[in-house]
Structure 1
């Protein structure tokens, strides 16, 4: 059987103030801005991509920052926490760093024998740092955060669900995930070869309020697939199971299909190629505004109306 799903490809969320979003993810967390482009469906809004040196699948957190957007609300039917992997010995470093930037955190907590910290970005998006001794990804060496403490990429995402049975069926029967751990009301699934970036945690949250989308809310989670062929294969599986995936959409750096899981969370399947170096060298990723060709005639107008960004680690 072909491996159709490798794990998480990227997570996309909503933000309000553009510069504060950059300050948090580049400045505080030390991620690299790997692409500065626009929302292809709303070109007056940025689409910002953060990740490791090359924007590897499994490291990419992206944002649509809408100025003045009202803050969302965590709850059922939502991806509530996005967890990054850090080395086991880095927890104290990150506790000190969060204090340095006046960012409240909770923990360390323990889940599935892992220690993790929990906090929020400036818009209230839920973020976790999970200490992990098995993740061999190098992370981004930004010259500010010591390499031995840097974020490696995603570890897991948490889906809060009013009912879990149908979501579990989608993950296991269609999307090739396997149940690998369970605690009271919390189930961990693994895709592909396993390890950090392959996990999805499903939390049974029957008493939750219904989530509201807004600044600090996750818009969708994308799962990684190797090629256009494997994407079409998983699309056919989804159709045969009664799901309604979109046609393939060209996002310049990957090809995408979208569909709703049973609890209402938007899922995407994204191809690994062509990647972020398709329109600028790796050494220059994220330094200039990149536009799809159909918006190039509007470049001067867009550059004038989009807010200026300073992206520096701190």
Structure 2
């Protein structure tokens, strides 16, 4: 029976910091980048040895700007990586120089251990142990040494792990070690802890190796009386998912087809792939997923600004920047696909509103269905003006080629910013907008150009014409267009906006 760990999957809230730690500091190779198979709007990164061999793989789901998860019962905890015993001191020196939080060295189960924390707070244990991998990398851990499971049912969890080829090993305190032919699983009793909460820094699951699809099918049959299981084709391996008696998510993943099924060995990790079932919207997804730079590549350091934001830069930017403001319940990536179709060579800057309503992102608070918190609008408009100033200075944005685009709640907020902070927004596209301000300041808006796109059947933004008149009386140039649409965005919005921006769409 093939045994041992196939991969461990975590969650990161900062893709660039994650790449810098696992590639730049630890020295792993990025062997695959894809849209997530469960949610293609999440980036999924896979690190490993030079060939992405099973047993060397660490994968991360990218939840940009997500909150920190909570460590607790029913989760994978520490990740252990094997390094040559003689290098523990070198790793200690390297971590101190890089100001990486650490603990140790110490000895556990008669092995030298140095604990580090990655940028999200995930504990990575470097274990001094000679282990091999098919394509070892210089100055990097060789492979996965093991993983820790936190459980309030240690006997049941340990027994469940034996299904994957593990047997009982040594015990130390509240930890019992399960041993395979290649690595270990430490089952740690944490009775009395709170349950874990998913989020950055908290691993999602551990996957154990299966020789082939027949092994996965056999495992599923053996689990029929245990509880629900799911089997999914992840392109690079076939996976079965199941939860142990403590609720820990475990996976059984085949060794093949492997990381080289769609890239040559010397090109691993260079291409962003989409799951086969998402081929129809691959280009839209590429516009939404966060971008990053590998060590040594040109990068654009993130600036600390008042609003969460994300860039999407095309391969051949023309110098135009579109600042995108989402609708209620959206986020900084929502408008990127439609904006990319409007302006293929523009740099996109998506921004996330700071107000929330029942967990949904908004740009300002509501007091009722159509009653808005006027003080909050003014406060957020002032903060947004500071954000624009900081972004222009910090990222070197050309203000003469800066265009703002807002949809629904984002368009309402953008219209308020135009009126409250004159000069901050000089060119704007407002899609399905209304006048959110009860009293519009009598400011001179000369030099402000606005394309206002109304949906003829839109019941949510019925006073768009009123907003257009308010802006026009204050000197703004308004291009008001009524489209055959409701509140949802349509191909007409793309075409009208592209024309207004100045793009000439080529014939198919």
Shared fold, TM over 0.5 = yes
User: What is the aligned partner in structure 1 of residue 290 from structure 2?
Assistant: 307
What is the CA distance between 1:238 and its match in structure 2?
A: 1.6
Which of 200, 213, 223 aligns to 1:228? It is 213
Shift of 1:229: 0.8
Partner of 1:264: 247
Residues 1:13 and 2:10 are matched in the alignment: yes
Structure with greater strand share of residues: 1
State the alpha-carbon separation in 1 of the partners of residues 37 and 161 from structure 2: 29
Match of 1:59 among 56, 59, 67: 56
The number of equivalent residue pairs is: 297
Instruction: Tell me if structure 2 keeps the 8 A contact 1:36–1:47.
Output: yes
Which ranges of structure 1 fall in alignment gaps of 5 or more residues?
142-146
Are 2:133 and 1:137 aligned?
A: yes
In structure 2, what is the Cα distance between the partners aligned to 1:41 and 1:162? 28
Among 178, 195, 198, the residue aligned to 1:189: 178
Match of residue 178 from structure 1? 167
Query: Which one of 190, 196, 200 corresponds to residue 211 of structure 1?
Result: 196
- Whole-angstrom CA distance in 1 between matches of 2:242 and 2:153: 18
User: Is the Cα contact below 8 Å between 1:139 and 1:150 reproduced in 2?
Assistant: no
Shift of 1:306: 1.8
Distance 2:70 2:208 in 1: 24
Secondary structure at the counterpart of residue 42 of structure 1: coil
Name which of 84, 94, 115 aligns with 1:97: 94
- Structure 2 partner of 1:24: 21
| Contact 2:150-2:187 within 8 A present in 1 as well | yes
**Structure 2 unpaired stretches of 5+:** 298-508
In the alignment, does 2:158 pair up with 1:168? Answer: yes
Post-superposition shift, 1:140? 4.2
Report 1 or 2 for greater relative contact order, CA contacts < 8 Å, sequence distance ≥ 6.
Answer: 1
- Tell me by how many angstroms 1:243 deviates: 3.0
Q: 1:30·1:313 contact (CA, 8 Å) conserved in 2? A: no
CA RMSD of aligned residues (A): 1.6
Deviation at 1:103, TM superposition (A): 0.3
d(CA) in 2 for partners of 1:38 and 1:114? Answer: 38
